[in-house]
Amino acid sequence: MRWMKCVCLGLFVLIAAQGIAMAAAEGARPYQINNRVRVELDDNIYATEDNPQESMKFIEELEILLNFNLPQTYVSLRYRPSYVWWEQREPDDTDFQNDLDFVLNHEFSSRVSLSVVDTLRRGEQPDSLSEDNVVVKNEDFYYNSANGTLA
> Between residues 76 and 2, which one has the greater pLDDT?
76
Binning pLDDT at 50, 70 and 90, where does residue 76 land?
very high
**Residue 120 confidence (pLDDT) above 70:** yes
Which range (96-100, 106-110, 140-144) has the least confidence? 140-144
Q: What is the mean pLDDT of residues 28-54?
A: 84
Q: What is the mean pLDDT of residues 57-68?
A: 92
32 beta partners: 65
Q: What is the mean pLDDT of residues 143-150?
A: 91
Give dist(CA 36, CA 135) in Å, integer: 29
**Residue 1 confidence (pLDDT) above 70:** no
Which range (1-10, 25-34, 46-55, 94-103) has the least confidence? 1-10
Q: What is the mean pLDDT of residues 61-81?
A: 92
Give dist(CA 82, CA 6) in Å, integer: 29
Q: What is the pLDDT of residue 125?
A: 63
Mean of the per-residue pLDDT values for the chain? 79
In percent, the amount of the chain with pLDDT more than 70 equals 72
Give dist(CA 145, CA 69) in Å, integer: 23
Q: What is the pLDDT of residue 124?
A: 75
**Residue 90 confidence (pLDDT) above 60:** yes
